[in-house]
Structure 1
Amino acid sequence: MDLISSEPPASAAPARQEFILSRLPASRANKRAALVMVFVLVLAFLVVAGPLSTMKLSRVDAFIPMYAAAMFVNDAITAILLFAQYSILRSRSLLAIASGYLFTALMLVPWTLTFPGVFAPRGLLGAGLQSTAWVYLLWHGGFATFVIAYALLKDDHAVARLRRTSPRSAILASVAMTIFLVGLATTLVTAGDRFLPRIMADTIRLDFRWNYGAASVALSSVVALVVLWVRRRSVLDLCLMVVMCAVIIEVTLISFPVPARFSIGWYSGRIFGVLSGSLVLFVLL
């Protein structure tokens, strides 16, 4: 009778969990690969910020929706896969990072719609001159906050409490909260554009005040990187550390050496964004 029982053996769940990214220990080969990727990112940054810094590029408005579509697909699929892993482990850390990737996917929508010159000369949603840049800062700063939450919740002991709540309910609540945060951020930067600190000089050039916002995002990303380093356990932690390195480089490239949209640094930053957004998805798949 035991041979035909439908109940899985007691060791099935732990064995299954060993193949989940947040539980899979990082091997020496994983660490070497991560180090190589960070080295390549830094090398690319030095090339763009050095020999290629004077290169002049044309404005290509079609690049914006193409970039946003690629990022949205990457981040949305990553969020779905992480939510699926949460449904197995019931870990609040997985719920946090899945919500973080959903947040980045949804923030791409107002960023694209408010971008001046893409769908309307001043952007849609009643956007002003500062709206798109502030969406970008809230988008990247928000993601760093979700990563910090993931790292701090990694060793929590709330699984027993979460098991009283169905995974579907917890996921739906997280999705609803994330949508609310994105809606609130979008409203603040569009309806309140005239009250926002000036970080865009015009639709192309960044104001010097942009550096304060960019520094805040970079600092929050560094904090996320440090917390991940201190509490690193798994392959997912390693991937997120590479992602945060890419975010720091991306924000820096936008600000240096030419603080303007459609510069070589700006386009390169977008490429860094796509690569960093694809990393966790690639490993998950």
Structure 2
Amino acid sequence: MKTFFEGSQFILIVLLLGVQLSTYLLLPYGVEGLVLIAFLLLLLSYTLLRGSAAGLFWSLPYLLILGAVLFDSQFFNRFVKEIEVPLPYMLAYGIALIGLILLAGYIQNQLTDQRQLVLKLQERIRRFTAVDIETGFDNPERMEFEVTAEMKRIDRYGGSFVLLILQMDHYEEFQKLYGEKERAHLLSSLAYKLGELTRQTDRKFRYDTDRLAVLLTNTTVESVEIVSSKLENKLKVHQLLSGNLIDLTFLIGQVTYEPGSESMDYEVLMEKVESERVSYVL
């Protein structure tokens, strides 16, 4: 990162010096000088946005037209009168234009690379931050990884698992009615109760803002009835920080993955469990 900034600063200084020198030399030549400066700044700005290839693409026709005008003014004077800018300055201007565009393209490439690197680092940080702070459960990225790994294990060795999705009904209304502290307390309470209700080998996830998920490993459809009964007894009533008791409503979906389900990938599995959600007052 330090090397990037040092190299970019040097290139940027050279670029600015080249623009300033060009401006200083062309400004005394009136309108012609201003037009040349304007095109120089326009092409450099475009290069900083689109890259050196795009800058060179538009600079070459510009230089060809400029060369044709210069040639006509020097030998024929058919279309334009004699140009006030000296011929050596014009030649130097063309060379400087190409050089400055290459420098601007280099800076644009470096900025693009740095932007992509920052995005990759942010994505890696987001993936490594596997635990949801409010519940202590794993995040959606970790959930996809764990569920996919369990699906592959079932496909290879047999067995089954059940995935439960619990969506808190009227979650946003709850937050508006009771406030942020009660919302955080609700999530913490649900996480604690789910931890008590499930085995240590079961995996818990914060699947979405208002959704919790439980991966019940080595579980059959019949065994889910036991889990559902525990959920009914433990989660149907929530105690607020004020001490008041309220009933909770959930949309619950479940899907069983067994051998022979190889055609079902993670996305299909999630679509199925979401489509089978049923409203429960626990």
Give the strand-richer structure, 1 or 2: 2
Which category of TM-score, normalised to the shorter sequence, fits these structures?
A: under 0.3
Higher helix share: 1
Larger RCO, structures 1/2 (Cα 8 Å, 6+ apart): 1
TM-score by length of 2: 0.23
